[in-house]
Amino acid sequence: MTQDNVARTYYDTGDVDGFYAQAWGGENIHVGIYSDAREAVGAAARRTVERMAAKAADALGPGRAVLDLGSGYGGAARQLAESYGCRVTGLNISEVQNRRHREINAERGLDGLIDVVTGSFQDVPAPDAAYDVVWSQDALCHSPDRATVLREAVRVLKPGGHLVFTDFMAVEDAPAAELRPLTDRLTVTGFATPAFYEEQLRSLPLSDVSFEELSEHLQTHYERLTDEVRDPSPTLVASVSAAYLEGLRESLPQVAAACAKGLLEWGIFHARRA
């Protein structure tokens, strides 16, 4: 099975869909930036979008085009379209997520600004220099060839355009056994490191490469998710199997513990197309 098919199967699974839709709010299923340790997951996730958008603000606005790689349920796409009036293309492998993305766009009256495309970010269905901003949140970990994804992202960027993304990352030489609760849950074989991404970005026609390290928020995020499954809402209980919920109660605290040990990293990469 190819990694695209693995990722599609993972996100199309009923338990996984139920967990993201209920515990993460089903809107913006990405790591949040928290103002305090008890803040709602959804509010923190919106703050991440705000922080990322601020890095590319001069390329956001009416008439501008954004590509969101791995757009999930479309929370970021809608936030960008609502806040800036830009056009957003959400490219995502899961048709289950894409259907919900389109439904919410229509409910919010945003379907005229957002296009949802089912496909792989390893072969972006767009011409060269098509977008002012290429955006991705916590999705590149699903790719078996992240270097190709970054080349594709740069290919479709206009000169002067912005690449901004986050991803789950590991420190160099992190013990695979201690990362397994997260790799197993995401059905990935491993994670990139910040050094890998910086090396790749600097090898491409990009300038102003930067990384804002925000790993403490990854730990807070998994502590908040642990709270959500320890005392689950009735809608979460109704949306996932008892076995899956029990598995989350075991794995999520282990991920938080790996963060506390400094084994996982997270933050925002930003660069501009030369």
pLDDT digits 0-9 by tens, 109-165: 999 999 999 999 999 999 999 999 999 999 999 999 999 999 999 999 999 999 999
pLDDT digits 0-9 by tens, 187-236: 898 999 999 999 999 999 999 999 999 999 999 999 999 999 999 999 99
Q: At 1, is the pLDDT very low, low, confident or very high (cuts 50, 70, 90)? A: very low
The 10 Å CB-count burial string (b at 16+, else e) for 20-44 is: bbbbbbbbbbbbbbbeeeeeebbeb
Distances (CA, A) of 159 to 180, 198, 218, 254: 40, 20, 32, 43
pLDDT digits 0-9 by tens, 16-67: 888 888 887 668 889 999 999 999 999 999 999 999 999 999 999 999 999 9
- The shares of helix, strand and coil residues in the chain, as percent rounded to the nearest 5, are 50, 20, 30
Distances (CA, A) of 165 to 103, 107, 175, 242: 25, 27, 25, 34
With 0.85 as the threshold, say if the pTM is over it.
yes
Beta pairing class for 267-273 and 131-137: unpaired
At 132, give phi and psi (nearest 5°).
-80, -30
